[in-house]
A and B are shown apart, each in its own frame.
Chain A
Amino acid sequence: MSTLPAVVQVFLFGLVTALATGLGAIPFAFVRSVSPRIVAYTNALASGLMLGASFGLLAEGADYGRLATLIGANLGVLFVLAAGKLLGDHELQFGAVRGEDARKMTLIVLVMTVHSIAEGVAIGTAFAGGTTLAIVITAAIAVHNIPEGLAISAVLRPRGASIAACAGWSIVSSLPQPLLAAPAFLFVGTFSALLPYGIGFAAGAMVFMVLVELLPEAFEAGRRSTIALLVSVAMVTMVLFQQTL
């Protein structure tokens, strides 16, 4: 590896972290049923994981600049509103799935992909600080991507996506990581100024996706106390996972 140019190394490390996202699909090999109740509880699981991930992002963004993070978060909210509206206007198909389910599936992949952009920039700028810690940073981000794949699969799988499709879309959602890590590494000055906006955007988009799409649907079919339990436990676990690793 050490013979490769640094920027290629950064790209390859980013690719490894993207592939790790696919591992999140594995637990869903055992979920077949598509009952509304299962959808409600997997929605709750995805909500908790996404809220937990947003917590980590917001805490990180606050170190760069609270106001910039908050501006970014507002843009993220507008993005989800606009994307949800646009997707609703078209007759969508996601694999063999159509209609409202296809809209929700497209939206989660879109939101998680957009959120990876900020993570890719974060990888690139971290590497610019020196590649000695490269392996540690890569391992940390790879591990933290797994529950994000879990969140995506939790939305895709009960709506009829195959396990391979869940893993595939999870990986696709993380591809911006290698793709943006490289330019961020090369032009670290420019990118680090944009980082808090990007982090805020990612967090805002995920929180809003949870509030506008996942939770309302969950409450239609699940017990509210069970949903609250799943969301809050998944959120705390995700935060603990990301803060300690």
Chain B
Amino acid sequence: MSDQPGAALEPAIGDAPLVAEPVTAARPTLWPTVPRPVLVARVVIGVAIAVAAVYAPFYFEPAMNRVLSQAIYIAIAAMGLNLLTGFNGQVSIGHGAFFGVGAFTSAILIVDHGWSYEPTIVVAALLAGGVGVLVGVPALRVRGLYLALVTLGLAVLFPRVAQKFVDGVGGVALLRPPRASFSSLIEGLDDDQWAYLLSLAILVVLFVAARNLVRGRVGRAMIAVRDQEIAATTVGVGLAGTKVATFAISAAYAGVAGSLSVMVDGIADGTNPILYFQRSIEFLVAVVIGGAATILGPAVGALLLVLLRRNTEDLIEGKEILAPAIFGAALIAIVFILPEGVVGGVRRLLARLGRRSAARAAVAAAASTPPNANDSQ
């Protein structure tokens, strides 16, 4: 798993102990402490991005808004996956299935039972989370590789199950709720703008929730389980509970994403046998290229993913066959250039800059004080 900066001082069992760096003696913390100027820069950039994000739907065309909304729901699913994979160390390539559960829950409630859209999001989350518990419990017995395969099976299975139990128009497992179900609840907002802003709002809420989760006791328990499972149990971390809970939460996130996709794309589609497998891959890719085990990473990764796909599709008019090849090549390139993902790479850069400026400050301070009888090293 990618290295947490704070964890770099911890030697793994069996490794030679590292001599601690003598510079800026920070108390070891889980999160990198950041010098003032960088903090200010972060806040400024954060505000700028927030403003841009809220203004975007009014600036762009509906088609672009739709693309951005897609990036948002992928980001939500990826954030959920990241909780499981990046922070808890359980690899899943089946989150497409939870996404599908969420999507069909919303679609069925709207089409067959006349619900209005917004409440279905909650039901989708709960149902997907419930399925997550069902999968999480047997997942306790299965490790690493096998877990990946079992979850793969889920994603492959889902379309088949959907086909069996969902009766759409023409007997096909495809549901298209009427456009009117998604009309904007706010006067003056177009439907596509509403879709975007609603998704954005949910993204922010879930982002904050994820952040608080990871930084709190539960989050520490998750990370402890990821890093040293056996040691974690010896300090009383409830292993099974933590793992299953993480599974359920991450599934719920994917369920919300699926529900949002019904609003954004207007469709719940069970006819394509490898669609949900592809979704699973999308989420995993978003997590990795954005930066696993960072909260922001998956969101950045999702945006990159969507933009990358659009641009490769545009680039090769006439040779569409090449699109997956270019996409694949781009994936490989990104992983090589930024092995910790975008956010991970940026963090490391900032940390290094911070260290350098702090070191320079320390040298300057030492140079300006008179020589002392009790010299510290």
A joins B in a complex: no
Seen from chain A, the residues whose Cβ lies within 8 Å of a Cβ on chain B are: none
